[in-house]
Structure 1
Amino acid sequence: MSKKTKATTDFNLYVGGKTGAFKGVKVDYNGIIVKNLQNVEILKPESEISFLSWNENKECDILIGTVNQTVKIYDIEFKAYSTSFEAKFGTGPIVGFARVNGAVTTCSGSGHIKVWKYKKNEQIQFSVGGEVSRMKEFYQKEGVIGLGGNKNDFKIWDIERKEKIFCAKNVKKDMLELEVPIWVTDLTFLPDSEYKVAVSTRHGQVRLYDTKAQRRPVIDINIENQSLNTITLCHNNNQVIVGSTTGHLMMADLRGKGKILHRYKGPVGSVRQVAAHPKLPYFASVGLDRYMRIHHTESRRLLFERYLKVRLNTVLMSSKFGKDLEKLDQSDDDDIECVDLEGENEFNEIFDNMETVRSEPQKKKKKIQ
């Protein structure tokens, strides 16, 4: 493919790395195209990308948050950064974005939320009173967010009123009468109901809350020996994909009492984030092993993988993703893994150019008579 074609590619995935690298990715039936969208020569350790989000539901531009609390906005149409500003409030990385009356809203790891407006007297800012690992916006109702963190159970807030709408209650004590530790790592709102939210925890739980029914989770799935980093909703809205710190990808069913349905092969390092298509059976995952992978949610097949050279924190999937991948689903070979190998060619070239080292055969020692 020519350089001109690559430059005008419409990407359907975007990833952010620990080095601050921001890459556009196009995945289709023919393979994978990757392009750096950030000048790597100016990157610093504090440039690490901590969160990616669509600025609005129209998917026209992307909000990029970093560990040093810088916000960048990338314009999809013009393929360039439209603005950048420091969003210093509280401490820790930016862990989530929201929109309030068109204004960008950030949440820091220390739990400080601020609505960034040009007129300072119109800015809204407050603290939620605890550490936050992830904040996400409820897209069906502007200004409503869900969040949680270490020793800070899941809550729903109204930003404009600075009020808690819902505060989760911990599950009952364990068999030793000890409090079950709390550490919410990620969450996802169920679109069919404004009252249901699924969360993942660092202690291996997948929980479903019905905020209109009760404060405790209505479903509590415990995954032994796993520490979960991320959760995303599948296309059927009854199942979620979760990723763990030990490289496990699993599907959990949120119907009935809840259970683990599938496990997916591929990752060998911590899975930092997963993103699923809202209507098609595909999801993407990234992690510290530097790979981006595409799986089919139902067949569990690994469709694509690509080595992206940097440890990855975040992935964002466009609604345009996957429209031409149906050909892969119709394959007669159940064991086929349609994997893009361009990333591995870099290693092949290195090894091919290495000088072969031959060890001399060891001389046999004479036996002493």
Structure 2
Amino acid sequence: MAAPIQNHVWVGTETGILKGINLVKRQAANYTDVSSLTPGQEVNVMCWGDPQESEILLGCKDGTVKVYSAEKSKFTEFHDCGGGEGVFRGLGILDNAIITCVESGLLKVWQQGSSENLELQVGPGVRKMRQCDADRNKVGTGGKENDLKIWDLQRTEEPIFRAKNVRNDWLDLRVPVWIRDLDFIPGTDNIVTCTSYHQVRIYDPSCPQRRPVLEALYGEDPLTALSVTPDGMSVVVGNSHGNLGVIDLRKGSLLRALKGSAGSIRSIQCHKSMPLVASCGLDRFLRVHHLNDKELLHKVYLKSRLNCLLLTSRDKWEEEELVATTEQEVKDEEDEVWDAMETVVEKTPTKLQPVTSDSNVEGITKVSTSKKQKKKRKVI
């Protein structure tokens, strides 16, 4: 079996191509057969298929979910997960089941080998469905005029939390709702959302008012994606103008701006343990920033418009690459030693001619005897 592909980032594109990027080697490769692509294979959402991150699930525009195995270096499964209207807005895994949510609000849990699948209507205009990492039975949903809801997939009669809109503005007009992305804050039950009205909001499900406990504004353009940092103290948000900002979740203030993007941000993901954040969007570049010093560590041009990404949770990338490089150098040195050795050819011994008659044997014996007698006479 081939060794697993050591890519650090996986990206899904508008053209339907799955791309893998090794940031240490600075290599990018396509893992989809480009000749067989159709317009319906645009990759809208992605998620890991197992905790080992050896499988990747891709939700496509035509309603299919593809499973790519990094260990086998090929697509191993294709699932027809059609139903509802619109493209996928969320994808997840629960045990051996696949969780999908489409734009019309139909959320389904597809059990393998079963015709009875859980169906749940979470409201129209969904823009994002995200599964909680700490509790896999918990998902959050939200969209256009569809405020935040938290669902327990074991008790689907009613959401366990339903957000309430903020109070009317200073003109006593209703404030519109348009959630674009959401994420669960690690170590707490709180959820952070971003909206098309450049609002960043934090909700506490234990709060009886059900309104945001904190709200911050970032820029003037619609916010399109976000990701909470590993410590849960801040959130990285991106907007349709290509701006990236780090917002403090305790005070609601802007900590720092991450520069470099030139198009709408489609996907952001922070590393689980290292101070890194990856982002991609319509400018066809994958970027990896350092969260503390704002340095742009990696910038990779990937030719296609990028919709979504997955950042591996592995750390110590340089050490992994150093071990692989050392093993390769040792192997190369061994090959050089063997190549420098001279080739030794063994010579076959000369065969004695067989004796065919007794007379020859007797003659040889007589001659050798006579030589011995002559030597004895000389000594005397």
Same fold (TM over 0.5): yes
What is the DSSP-based 3-state SS (H/G/I as helix, E as strand, rest coil) of the residue aligned with 1:176?
coil
Amino acid at match of 2:16: G
Q: 1:170 aligns with which of 155, 165, 173?
A: 165
Contact kept in structure 2, 1:13 and 1:321, CA below 8 Å: no
Amino acid at match of 1:238: M
In the other structure, the counterpart of 2:284 is 290
In the other structure, the counterpart of 2:227 is 232
If you compute each CA radius of gyration, which structure gives the higher value, 1 or 2?
A: 2
Whether 1:84 and 2:99 are equivalent positions in the alignment is no
Amino acid at match of 1:301: E
- Which TM-score applies when normalising by structure 1? 0.82
Aligned length: 317
In the other structure, the counterpart of 2:15 is 19
Contact kept in structure 1, 2:146 and 2:179, CA below 8 Å: yes
Point out 4+ residue stretches in structure 1 off by more than 6 angstroms: none
Q: 1:319 aligns with which of 287, 303, 313?
A: 313
CA offset at residue 122 of structure 1?
3.1
Q: Over residues 305-326 of structure 1, what are the superposed CA-to-partner deviations in whole Å (9 max), with x where a residue is unaligned?
A: 011000001110001156329x
* Unmatched runs of 5 consecutive residues or more in structure 1: 326-369
The aligned runs of 1:192-203 (5 Å cut-off) are: 192-193=187-188, 195-203=189-197
In the other structure, the counterpart of 1:186 is 181
Whether 1:60 and 2:54 are equivalent positions in the alignment is yes
In the other structure, the counterpart of 1:220 is 215
In the other structure, the counterpart of 1:35 is 29
Q: Over residues 88-109 of structure 1, what are the superposed CA-to-partner deviations in whole Å (9 max), with x where a residue is unaligned?
A: 1101111112333421111111
Whole-angstrom CA distance in 1 between matches of 2:10 and 2:192? 24
Q: 1:271 aligns with which of 265, 275, 294?
A: 265
Amino acid at match of 1:168: A
In the other structure, the counterpart of 2:247 is 252
CA offset at residue 223 of structure 1?
2.1
Whole-angstrom CA distance in 2 between matches of 1:47 and 1:33? 24
CA offset at residue 22 of structure 1?
0.7
CA offset at residue 58 of structure 1?
2.9
Whole-angstrom CA distance in 2 between matches of 1:118 and 1:305? 39
In the other structure, the counterpart of 2:354 is none
Q: Over residues 114-165 of structure 1, what are the superposed CA-to-partner deviations in whole Å (9 max), with x where a residue is unaligned?
A: 1112454531112112221111111222221001001101110122322301
Contact kept in structure 1, 2:11 and 2:18, CA below 8 Å: yes
Amino acid at match of 2:38: K
Q: Over residues 248-288 of structure 1, what are the superposed CA-to-partner deviations in whole Å (9 max), with x where a residue is unaligned?
A: 111011013x1111111111111111111011111111010
What is the DSSP-based 3-state SS (H/G/I as helix, E as strand, rest coil) of the residue aligned with 1:41?
helix
- Identity level (%): 35
Coordinate RMSD, CA, aligned: 1.9
Contact kept in structure 2, 1:98 and 1:143, CA below 8 Å: no
Whole-angstrom CA distance in 1 between matches of 2:95 and 2:318? 36
Contact kept in structure 1, 2:4 and 2:71, CA below 8 Å: no
What is the DSSP-based 3-state SS (H/G/I as helix, E as strand, rest coil) of the residue aligned with 1:314?
strand
Whether 1:155 and 2:141 are equivalent positions in the alignment is no
Whole-angstrom CA distance in 1 between matches of 2:87 and 2:30? 22
Whole-angstrom CA distance in 1 between matches of 2:95 and 2:302? 37
In the other structure, the counterpart of 1:210 is 204
The farther-off stretch of 111-120 and 144-153 is 111-120
Amino acid at match of 2:87: P
Q: Over residues 3-51 of structure 1, what are the superposed CA-to-partner deviations in whole Å (9 max), with x where a residue is unaligned?
A: xx9x9641111001111111011112xx411010111111122111000
CA offset at residue 56 of structure 1?
3.0
Whole-angstrom CA distance in 2 between matches of 1:198 and 1:323? 30
Q: 2:294 aligns with which of 292, 297, 300?
A: 300
CA offset at residue 54 of structure 1?
1.0
Contact kept in structure 2, 1:98 and 1:145, CA below 8 Å: no
What is the DSSP-based 3-state SS (H/G/I as helix, E as strand, rest coil) of the residue aligned with 2:40?
helix
* Unmatched runs of 5 consecutive residues or more in structure 2: 320-380
Whole-angstrom CA distance in 2 between matches of 1:117 and 1:8? 27
Contact kept in structure 1, 2:190 and 2:203, CA below 8 Å: yes
